[in-house]
């Protein structure tokens, strides 16, 4: 390597070390009800596909930054699972704020309801045992463009449709956040097209968000990729 180069070779080991470093330094403040939840959920037979603590903390930070730093008034999550990410979001709500989280799997929903009840946050978190694409039109009719945060973490092939609904449901300055924007346990974004429907759908969503003049977006390569897009307050010039 030339002496003047500052390029550092990335290796799987170095990537793992970086992730460990981030987790050690930047995951304090886990909501009490979220502590040990991953293990409890695994013991109950739920899949281990919740966001990791550093992504939970990212959700909390952006949620509490909304509404001029008071926190989100209204937030939406697609895909509750055991309630891990929901607890981080709920912790970032404004006083009197509310998170609606959708989970059609009755076993996951029952587990998460129990967790929310133990957290003491049943006034903040409303779980609807519904499929995202069934409930989103109803939410649009019920609330209109009132959401400060829209977190997508459900069916990957439905991600382009989730973003279309986010365009209708987000308030000005509202955030669209998508987990698995770069990959999951079964596919990664650098793989060729036409081999995994999940990869192709997420790629379509990423491109739609990147090209949308109504949104300012970034894709953070932490964990399996987190897309963050803010709805502009005014249309682009």
Q: Which residues bind ligand SAH (CB under 6 A)?
A: 49-51, 78-79, 81, 84-85, 102-105, 108, 131-132, 153-155
State the binding partner of 170 from ligand SAH, Mg ion, none, CB within 5 to 8 A by kind: none
Instruction: Note whether 73 binds Mg ion by CB under 5 A.
Output: no
Residue 124 CB, nearest approach to ligand SAH (Å): 16
* Site track for Mg ion across 134-163, x = CB under 5 A: -------------------x----------
Q: Which is nearer to ligand SAH, 17 or 188 (CB)?
A: 188
Instruction: Note whether 180 binds Mg ion by CB under 5 A.
Output: yes
Q: Which is nearer to Mg ion, 94 or 203 (CB)?
A: 203
Residue 35 CB, nearest approach to ligand SAH (Å): 14
How many CB atoms within 10 Å of residue 185? 10
Q: Which is nearer to ligand SAH, 65 or 104 (CB)?
A: 104
Beta bridge partners of 188: 183
């Amino acid at each position: 390597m030339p002496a003047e180069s500052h390029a550092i070779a990335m290796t799987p080991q170095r990537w793992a070390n970086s992730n460990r470093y981030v987790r050690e330094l930047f995951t304090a403040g886990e909501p009490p009800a979220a502590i040990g939840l991953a293990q409890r959920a695994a013991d109950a037979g739920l899949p281990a596909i919740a966001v990791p603590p550093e992504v939970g903390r990212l959700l909390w930070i952006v949620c509490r930054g909304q509404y001029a730093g008071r926190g989100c008034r209204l937030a939406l999550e697609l895909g509750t699972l055991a309630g891990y990410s929901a607890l981080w979001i709920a912790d970032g709500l404004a006083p009197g704020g509310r998170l609606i989280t959708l989970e059609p799997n009755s076993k996951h929903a029952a587990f998460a309801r129990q967790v929310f009840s133990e957290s003491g946050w049943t006034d903040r978190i409303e779980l609807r045992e519904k499929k995202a694409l069934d409930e989103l039109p109803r939410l649009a009719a019920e609330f209109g463009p009132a959401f400060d945060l829209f977190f997508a973490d459900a069916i990957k092939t439905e991600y382009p449709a989730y973003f279309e609904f986010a365009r209708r449901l987000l308030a000005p300055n509202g955030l669209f956040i998508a987990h698995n924007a770069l990959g999951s346990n079964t596919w990664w974004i650098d793989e060729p097209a036409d081999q995994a429907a999940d990869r192709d759908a997420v790629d379509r969503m990423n491109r739609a968000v990147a090209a949308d003049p109504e949104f300012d977006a970034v894709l953070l390569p932490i964990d399996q990729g987190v897309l963050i897009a803010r709805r502009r307050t005014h249309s682009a010039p």
